[in-house]
Amino acid sequence: MTNITLKQLRYFDALARHGHFGRAADACAISQPAISMRIKELEEELGTPLVERGARQVRLTAFGEDFVTKAREILRAVDELGDLARASQGRIAGRLRIGVIPTIAPYLLPRIVGRLSALHAGLDIHVRESLTSKLLTELHDGKLDTAIVALPVSEPALTEVALFDESFVLVRPGADRDKPVPDRDGLREMRLLLLEEGHCFRDQALSFCNIQSAMPRETLDGSSLSTLVQMVGSGIGVTLIPEMAVPVETRATDVDIARFGAPEPKRTIGMIWRKSSPLAPQLREISEVVRDVARLARTVAA
DSSP helix/strand/coil, 167:
strand
Closer residue to its own copies (CB): 19 or 233? 19
**Is position 1 an interface residue for its own copies (rule: CB under 8 A)?**
yes
Binding at 74: pick from its own copies, DNA, none (beta carbon under 5-8 Å per type): its own copies
Closer residue to its own copies (CB): 107 or 273? 273
Taking phi over 0 as left and psi of -120 to 50 as alpha, with beta for the rest, 235 belongs to: left
**Is the backbone peptide bond immediately before 242 cis, with ω within 30 degrees of 0?**
no
Binding its own copies (rule: CB under 8 A), the pick from 27, 113, 220, 279 is: 279
**Is position 121 an interface residue for its own copies (rule: CB under 8 A)?**
no
Distance CA 200, CA 165 (A): 15
Distance CA 272, CA 162 (A): 9
Angle between helices 105-119 and 280-301 (to 10 degrees): 120
To its own copies, the closest distance from the beta carbon of 10 in angstroms equals 9
Residues that bind DNA (CB under 7 A): 5, 7, 20-22, 29-34, 36-41, 53-58, 156-157
Distance CA 282, CA 94 (A): 11
**Is position 85 an interface residue for its own copies (rule: CB under 8 A)?**
yes
- Which contiguous run of DSSP H or E holds residue 40? helix 32-46
**Is position 55 an interface residue for its own copies (rule: CB under 8 A)?**
yes
Binding its own copies (rule: CB under 8 A), the pick from 18, 20, 23, 61 is: 61
To DNA, the closest distance from the beta carbon of 241 in angstroms equals 35
For the chain, how big is the Rg over CA atoms in Å?
33
Binding its own copies (rule: CB under 8 A), the pick from 54, 180, 216, 263 is: 54
Dmax over Cα atoms in the chain, in whole Å?
Answer: 108
Query: Which region, judged by CB under 8 A, interacts with its own copies, from 43-51, 226-234, 260-268, 288-296?
Result: 43-51
Q: Single out the residue of 55, 62, 64 nearest to residue 11, CA to CA.
A: 64
Phi and psi torsions of 129, nearest 5°:
-110, 120
To DNA, the closest distance from the beta carbon of 151 in angstroms equals 19
Contacts of its own copies in 136-195 (CB under 8 A): 142, 157
Binding its own copies (rule: CB under 8 A), the pick from 40, 86, 217, 284 is: 86
To DNA, the closest distance from the beta carbon of 3 in angstroms equals 8
Q: Single out the residue of 202, 185, 190 nearest to residue 237, CA to CA.
A: 190
Query: Which region, judged by CB under 8 A, interacts with its own copies, from 49-57, 101-109, 182-190, 246-254?
Result: 49-57
What's the DSSP call for residue 178? Answer: G
Distance CA 211, CA 184 (A): 10
To its own copies, the closest distance from the beta carbon of 72 in angstroms equals 11
Q: Single out the residue of 95, 89, 145 nearest to residue 271, CA to CA.
A: 145
Contacts of its own copies in 202-221 (CB under 8 A): none
DSSP helix/strand/coil, 6:
helix
Binding at 213: pick from DNA, its own copies, none (beta carbon under 5-8 Å per type): none
Residues that bind its own copies (CB under 8 A): 1-2, 4-6, 45-49, 52-55, 59, 61-63, 66-67, 70-71, 73-74, 77-82, 84-86, 88-90, 94-95, 142, 157, 274, 276-279
